Amino acid sequence: MNYKRRLQGIMIAGSVALAGPVFAETPSAAMLGNTCAGCHGTHGNSQGPATPTIAGVSSEYFIDAMMGYKNGDRAATIMDRIAKGYTDEEIKLMAEFFSTQKMERPEQKVDAALAKKGMKMHEKYCEKCHADGGRSTEDDAGMLAGQWTPYLHFTMSDFMSGKREMPKKMKKKVEELQAKGGDAAIEALIHYYGSQK
């Protein structure tokens, strides 16, 4: 990202965080989505590793996430402030927009041996809800395949510390996995998701 675009991103983030953008007319989904591009990239494909890609997530997952940020149920560093600037209707519009964008998976450095180990664990503990190697959106469980690994790291640690609530059945599987493989097992899984193109 060049300097000008980054600055734009920061300025957008600032205005969004304060009050939400003000539009003269009813904004289109794409217009609303543009205000997210400073951090989540063009059409939701993030270029920065701590910000998740949101292109191609299911619209239900998107709405759940935004409502969770808005009402304080979901842990956030910044999205809580941003989500408060949007009405439920605008969130629905943006959900339509982002869920129909194509996800572009970034090149990431991963350890191939760890990724292979992670694949086996994924199949045993996670595939049931994160189908097709974590790329299916059918269960509204977010996008794991090709997601930025730094984002996955901090998300998994939020889950495990209880800062972000895990779905009950997922919690059971994560605990089983941890009992067996500890943090190394989680690390392997993250390499697996990051390895996917």
Q: Are 185 and 114 in contact (CB under 8 A)?
A: no
Residues near ligand HEC (CB under 6 A), total: 40
Contacts (CB under 6 A) with ligand HEC, residues 153-182: 155-156, 167, 169-170, 173-174, 177
Q: Determine if 145 is a binding residue for ligand HEC (CB under 6 A).
A: no
Give CA–CA dist 85/134, Å, rounded: 31
Q: Are 74 and 68 in contact (CB under 8 A)?
A: yes
Cβ 112 to ligand HEC shortest distance, Å? 19
Cβ 196 to ligand HEC shortest distance, Å? 13
Q: Determine if 142 is a binding residue for ligand HEC (CB under 6 A).
A: yes
Q: Long-range CB contacts (< 8 A, 24+ apart) of 132-137?
A: 133/192, 133/196, 134/193, 134/196, 135/196, 137/56, 137/57, 137/58, 137/61, 137/99
Q: Are 115 and 194 in contact (CB under 8 A)?
A: yes
Of the residues 29, 67, 110, 129, which one makes contact with ligand HEC according to CB under 6 A: 129
Site string for ligand HEC, 29-58 (x = CB under 6 A): ------xx-xxx---------xxx-x----
160 exposure class (CB count in 10 Å sphere: 0-12, 13-18, 19+) = middle
Q: Are 154 and 64 in contact (CB under 8 A)?
A: no
Give CA–CA dist 104/26, Å, rounded: 29
Cβ 142 to ligand HEC shortest distance, Å? 3
Site string for ligand HEC, 71-110 (x = CB under 6 A): -----xxxx--x-----------x----------------
Return residues touching ligand HEC (CB under 6 A): 12-13, 16, 35-36, 38-40, 50-52, 54, 62, 64-66, 76-79, 82, 94, 125-126, 128-130, 141-142, 144, 152, 155-156, 167, 169-170, 173-174, 177, 189
